[in-house]
Amino acid sequence: MAEKRINKCIDLLEQGEYLYYTGCGELTYENGKKQAKTWADFLVSDFEHSPFDIIGLRAFMQGLVDGGPTNSGHRSPTVIVTLPANARTENEVRANAWQVRQVLAAGVHGILHTHTRQPDAVKAFVEECRYPFQTAGLGGGLRQGQRGSGGQGYAAGIWGLTGPEYTKVADPWPLNPEGELMLGLKIEDREGAANAEYIAQVPGLAFAEWGPGDMGMSFGHADSHDPPYPPEMENARQMVKGACDRAGVAFLSSWNDPNLDTEAKVRYLMDWGVRIISGGREENAQIGRKISGRTMPV
């Protein structure tokens, strides 16, 4: 493997650092070149709510590479996408696995799956992201990978690898210590919270969040994204975070308390053990990196 990882965010997590992110913006080659020097550690393309534009995603990924490397010396910023389909049941995940194949073939570095409710659905998600020859985790809750050969060419080029090199490392980290894919979950409704302990234990996960907006709606609240939270939401927040902590899964969260300034919000999240700080603002990242003593160039 190269001196630096393909996935900048894995490098940072292995160093004990925190992650900060923002949206990709327009999925064009030109914007990709512009975003190659982003302040963010990773960029998110939201296909959960926006058009599923694989042609644009491929162009954007190529722009990132052509505009790179990053100031940290990585080939590109990490890119993570959400999907149009959810991960509520195994059947839903299997029926929509084509979406997983399409985004991975575009060269992204991870997927954040949504509305996770059942551990069987999460197992299916991990399996659909893996090539059949990978063996880590088999017999420990996972079955053989389902990602097929033939779509690795473009992704390998984005990562700066040959096809065979790509298929070896396009596997979930930290399940595979040499893997470069980050798989995440939104455990964001009351059923998911009730099953969080079992969901978080599925092998192959790198991170998760509790999705307060949707979590609140599942409890009957039209708009409870930000604190203070009603008791049932606070309980769900603690349940999901606790399950992630016990499973060694990095937790993603925001904390938009109107009574706190930006630094106090960032410190609250760090003190609570959050590893991926949400908010999408460069100011948050600047403050957090100063607190943690970040040494990797931005």
CATH of the domain at 70: 3.20.20.60
Tell me the β-bridge partners of 277.
20, 253
User: Looking at the predicted structure, is the pLDDT value of residue 2 above 60?
Assistant: no
What are the pLDDT digits (tens) for 231-272?
999 999 999 999 999 999 999 999 999 999 999 999 999 999
Q: Are strands 42-46 and 276-277 parallel, antiparallel or unpaired?
A: unpaired
The answer as to whether 113 is a domain residue is yes
Q: Are 210 and 188 in contact (CB under 8 A)?
A: yes
Q: Is the predicted pLDDT of residue 3 greater than 50, yes or no?
A: yes
pLDDT band at 1 (very low <50, low <70, confident <90, very high): very low
Is omega for the bond preceding 164 within 30 degrees of 0, making it cis? Answer: no
CA distance 105 to 98: 10
List residues bridging with 199 in a β-sheet. Answer: none
Strand runs (DSSP E) across 180-275, as ranges? 182-186, 207-209, 250-253
DSSP class of 147: P
Let me know if residue 2 belongs to a domain: no
What tokens were used for 105? 């073939």
The whole domain housing 216 covers: 8-292
121 inside domain: yes
Q: Is the pLDDT at 103 greater than 60, yes or no?
A: yes
Q: What is the mean predicted confidence (pLDDT) over 31-57?
A: 98
Number of structural domains, the chain? Answer: 1
- Whether 239 is in a domain gets the answer yes
Q: What is the model's pTM?
A: 0.97
136 in a structural domain: yes
Q: Does any domain span residue 75?
A: yes
Q: In which band, very low, low, confident or very high, does the pLDDT at 4 lie, cut at 50, 70 and 90?
A: confident
Query: Within a domain: residue 204?
Result: yes
Is 3 contained in some domain?
A: no
CB-count burial class (<10 Å; 0-12, 13-18, 19+) for 77:
buried
The pair of three-digit structure tokens given for residue 281, joined into one six-digit string: 């603002």
* Nearest residue to 114 (alpha-carbon basis) of 96, 102, 130: 96
